[in-house]
């Protein structure tokens, strides 16, 4: 598992996840419900689009048991119309109004013609599967970024209706296991017990990997730490490719060690040294809550649970308390934060400096840092008004706005710059471990995780549109994403 493939330091903590308000890089580990403590898999790294496949509202169309045609109305029609708009097919008179009329039929037939599928004018299985493959390429998301005009920033955005705003904000919460499924309060005890088992495994695994296996390496920095130049090179390469996609929307300064690249371990120890026992316990509680959101996804999905909702939160309260009811347990959670791989706060990226034992492992580590730095840098580009909106919503919705959308944009950058296109950055990323004969590793070869909430982010994009989402995230126009 990669050193840098974990949660980042955001202005607003997710369920008070990190008391300093740091956003967290993608988590490295999740425990499946059927697995025993401490033996879970690494998080999936699939970068495919989640806009259609897996959307409960569209499953019957994807499965071929339902079609949507002229005369229909509602959110399914909105999602079709917005997809057409995002691909460049015009709806000049009525736009995305949720009503399947002649204008939508004509635009849909034109898309079907261009895609070389039956020109039915019906939202059917062949159409949705073709749309799914199209958005897997992320082509239309990248074109939207390239077409952004800073002189006319609201061009191609639209005003949401009240129903669309409500649907967009609701899309931020994780989907239940099936359409219409809800958390059953009768399952509260079973849910709490399952979370407790999963948390025990996650915490045990992460504490060993992130802290126990690393703490002694801090004693010999000359031997075990990367040089500043290596870390700066990889981080700034991540910034460089991101700026090529989103630089017209927002841009930050280059990274420099000691300025806006900071040793996470050292920084956390200094913070903890100045905290009271009560403050440490509060911070530890936030970390436990964070792990429930980010690393217990399988359990939450099994029970159709949203941890921040009232019934689930009440069931989880004694579980959370059990992980911080003694000073040693509190220290374990603080240790996790100390050893956490990547983080971001107010434009500063926090990272771990540890080297590996071989040249090849270090080369791959720097490529991992490159990819994680894309994620962390995109965090720094989130507008303050956007972060404030995320904090106001709180809970799972906040997690999607903070981490899900960051990963959504991260995956767009990766799609623009796959390994085959990064040759000009090879020496900059690899630094002292440059090897001209070695191929550049792809992201899936580096165990760089992504948050599952990127799926919720993209499903929201499917309602509000990519142009609205970009302007909301990077320039704080949150009303375009559903803010009241």
Predicted local distance difference test score (pLDDT) of residue 444: 87
For the whole model, what pTM was predicted?
0.88
Predicted local distance difference test score (pLDDT) of residue 22: 61
Predicted local distance difference test score (pLDDT) of residue 255: 96
DSSP class of residue 350? E
Predicted local distance difference test score (pLDDT) of residue 294: 85
CA-to-CA separations, 456 to 6, 169, 453, 460, 461, in angstroms, rounded = 20, 10, 5, 6, 9
Round to whole Å and give the CA distance between 400 and 408. 10
Predicted local distance difference test score (pLDDT) of residue 12: 29
The answer to whether the CB of 201 falls within 8 A of the CB of 40 is yes
Predicted local distance difference test score (pLDDT) of residue 18: 34
How does pLDDT run along the chain (484 residues), one tens digit per residue? 233 333 334 322 333 333 345 666 655 444 333 222 222 223 333 457 899 988 999 999 999 999 999 999 999 999 999 999 999 999 999 999 999 999 999 999 999 999 999 999 999 999 999 999 999 999 999 999 999 999 999 999 999 999 999 999 999 999 888 878 899 999 999 999 999 999 999 999 999 999 999 999 999 999 999 999 999 999 999 999 999 999 999 999 999 999 999 999 999 999 999 999 999 999 999 999 989 988 898 999 999 999 999 999 999 999 999 999 999 999 999 999 999 988 888 889 999 999 999 999 999 999 999 998 999 999 999 999 999 999 999 988 999 999 999 999 999 999 999 999 999 999 999 999 999 999 999 998 987 888 889 999 999 999 999 999 999 999 999 999 999 9
How close are the terminal C-alpha atoms of the chain, in Å? 42
Round to whole Å and give the CA distance between 25 and 189. 31
Q: Give the DSSP per-residue string, 112-175.
A: HHHTTS---SSB-HHHHHHHHHHHHTTHHHHHHHHT--TTSTTTT--PPPHHHHHHHHHTTSPP
């Amino acid at each position: 598992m990669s050193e840098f493939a974990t949660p980042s330091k955001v202005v607003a903590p997710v369920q008070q996840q990190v008391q300093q308000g740091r956003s967290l890089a993608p988590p490295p580990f999740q425990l499946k419900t059927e697995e025993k403590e401490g033996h879970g898999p690494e998080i999936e790294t699939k970068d495919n689009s989640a806009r259609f496949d897996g959307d409960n509202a569209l499953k019957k169309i994807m499965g071929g048991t339902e079609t949507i045609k002229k005369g229909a109305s509602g959110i399914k029609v909105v999602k079709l119309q917005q997809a057409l708009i995002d691909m460049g097919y015009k709806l000049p008179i009525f736009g995305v109004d949720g009503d399947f009329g002649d204008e939508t039929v004509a635009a849909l037939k034109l898309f079907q013609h261009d895609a070389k599928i039956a020109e039915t004018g019906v939202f059917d299985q062949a159409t949705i599967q073709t749309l799914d493959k199209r958005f897997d390429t992320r082509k239309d998301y990248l074109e939207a970024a390239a077409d952004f005009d800073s002189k006319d920033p609201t061009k191609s955005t639209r005003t949401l209706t009240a129903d669309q705003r409500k649907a967009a904000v609701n899309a931020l919460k994780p989907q239940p296991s099936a359409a219409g499924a809800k958390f059953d309060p009768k399952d509260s005890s079973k849910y709490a017990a399952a979370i407790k088992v999963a948390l025990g495994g996650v915490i045990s695994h992460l504490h060993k990997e992130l802290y126990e296996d690393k703490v002694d390496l801090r004693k010999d920095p000359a031997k075990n730490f990367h040089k500043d130049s290596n870390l700066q090179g990889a981080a700034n390469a991540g910034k460089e490719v991101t700026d090529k996609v989103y630089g017209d929307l927002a841009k930050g300064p280059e990274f420099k060690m000691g300025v806006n690249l900071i040793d996470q371990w050292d920084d956390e120890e200094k913070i903890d040294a100045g905290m009271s026992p009560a403050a440490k316990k509060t911070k530890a509680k936030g970390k436990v809550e964070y792990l429930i959101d980010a690393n217990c996804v399988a359990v939450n999905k099994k029970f159709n649970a949203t941890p921040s909702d009232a019934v689930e939160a009440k069931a989880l309260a004694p579980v959370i308390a059990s992980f911080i009811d003694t000073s040693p347990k509190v220290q374990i959670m603080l240790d996790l934060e100390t050893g956490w791989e990547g983080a971001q706060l107010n434009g500063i990226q926090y990272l771990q400096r540890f080297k590996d034992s071989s040249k090849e492992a270090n080369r791959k580590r720097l490529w991992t840092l490159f990819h994680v730095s894309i994620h962390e840098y995109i965090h720094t580009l989130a507008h303050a008004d956007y972060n404030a909106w995320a904090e106001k919503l709180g809970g799972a919705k906040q997690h999607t706005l903070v981490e899900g959308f960051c990963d959504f944009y991260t995956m767009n950058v990766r799609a623009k710059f796959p390994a085959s296109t990064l040759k000009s950055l090879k020496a900059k990323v690899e630094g002292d471990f440059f090897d001209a004969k070695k191929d550049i590793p792809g992201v899936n070869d580096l165990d760089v995780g992504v948050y599952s909430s990127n799926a919720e982010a993209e499903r929201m994009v499917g309602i509000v549109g990519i142009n609205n989402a970009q302007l909301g995230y990077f320039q704080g126009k949150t009303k375009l994403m559903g803010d009241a």
